[in-house]
Structure 1
Amino acid sequence: MSDLETIISMLSHRRPAGSGSEMAFIKKFIMPLGAKMDKHGNWVLQIGDNPTVLWSSHTDSVHCSEGYQKVDWDGKFITLPVNSKSSCLGADCAAGVWIITEMIRAKVPGLYIFHFAEEIGCIGSSAIAEKEPERLAGIKAAIAFDRKGIDSVITHQRQRCCSDAFGDSLRAQLPSRFKLDPTGVLTDTKQYMKLVPECSNLSVGYYNEHRPQEALDVGHLIELRNFMVKIDQSKFVIERDPKAKPKKKLFGYSGGFGGGSLFRKEETLRDIVYWNPDEVAAYLENQGVTFDQLHDAIHGPRRSRSMASLFDDEDLKALAS
């Protein structure tokens, strides 16, 4: 398949964490590379001896239901069709998965982790950090491909996660539009901040994530791949001390600017929940939502469904094979 065909095929899978269609995605695109599942649900592959860089993305999406979907391509962006039943495109983060599968094929050295269940709490990465931190011994930088837009090298995930010196040494090997960005919030590499000196996240070209209006800039994604398969890790500057006491939170600023943070952004429903947990809880209580109702909605078992109900159209059933 061509690059475009592969990306479209990846985006045809709706991938709630632990779903059958997420596993179909893994079997089709990740397992053939030789990756193996660890006991936390992550898929892991190592290239080279004693790698010092961890490259990552995550296999799950925020789709409301599992199954398959059609997508549209207009020559620049991949989006959902206007009449799609799907809740999002899922470029967050099929785009990142595509990047690192391409790096694996190019034999770029590193420890590669396709993380489990990032969208519901960074479950796979948290398990590594909390239960098997020794697996990251020797890792000097952890870089995720899980950021919106086309120009961010993330230096902060609420707190500083990588030094500007590292960010600049990475940015220098990327398309010239990339710049240091302190407005990151959360992805899997944040879980490694106390273990790994330099933790960052790079823009992979999606916009309006977690919504039906999500779109993926394919040109950016392919261009970024072209740079990443030639990356020279020996040029990375490692400065940050992961054991150092964190400085005041960049996003903890509450003075001025209408009481908001200097860099704080509320662009998605997830952002609002993240920044305003007490207010969201009060709103739900006022709406009559109980703890048990919310707990069951988030953690309750999925209803069993026939495979036929997983597809938008009959012709998409072929994707399951």
Structure 2
Amino acid sequence: MGAFTIINQILLLAILTAVGSLAFRFKILEESAKEIIQKLVFYITLPLLIVTKLSVLEFTDEILKNGGLVVLFSFLIMILQLGLGKLSARFFALRKPQAVIHSLHHMLGNVVFLGFPLVDTLIPGGEALLYAALYQLVLNALLWSYGVIQLNPDDSQKGLKQFKKLINPNTIALSLGLIMMLLKIRLPDVLQQSLGGLGSTTTYLAMLYIGILLAQMKMKEIFSISIFTFSFTKLVFSPLIFMLSLLVLINYFLLPLNSVAFTVLVLESAMPGMTILVLLAKRYGADDALAMKNFFVSTVLSLITLPLILYLIQWSQN
């Protein structure tokens, strides 16, 4: 993949995001559109994208082996990022409400609304989307267990119950897609085309959603050293450490990780702050204002850092 292709794909997502922001600014899309688009993506288009992509994927031993490694290293990179977040929060002497958001946002990236569209656009065919779905599975496990307990420490039992939210349309779609791939079950052409076409709108809807969120943020509220430090650590520092570690394991310890899995792991680790954390922070009485600032700054900066990360991924594989 050439540098022009990488920049072109990022530019495509940036334009779609700008359309969402402008549509909201000019009141073409109202506040209610945000919730509608979020539900469309989470409950309909993304599950359909996962099922229709995975069901036509040929199952191989390599996919099985790399899938297991993706789950393992997804967990490791998130723990690394959480640790960096905790160290950073301590360095800036953040109060507990801010420290919780600061550290959680290091670990939790915007996999659904940016990671999936970017992976599917850059590496079409299904295999990359499978690995991205496995990455999201690990992220969800940490979010609905550790994450919710941190946001609402006075009610750990409630936090444990939130773990049931691992059973959602996307994990169901992942399970169904894997079963269809393993058993070589194919949808009839008319279903594959119609449902696959609807699933392919995920990229466009997700970017409109992000655009609406960005349009609601006031620029004067975002200037904070801790927020920009978070963005640098999440978008550049930790992904580069992770990428170099994987390269050492691949080249010197013969880690059997293929280029698609490697690309997805590094790319997903470089995603900006998670959108859902903003909603959860508000729900549990945490610092949702800081969560929104983290999301805004890291998302805007990711338009610069993601092409850099993608270029370094490509360079490392030459």
TM-score normalized with structure 1 length: 0.29
Greater share of residues in helix: 2
Give TM-score, length-normalised by structure 2. Answer: 0.29
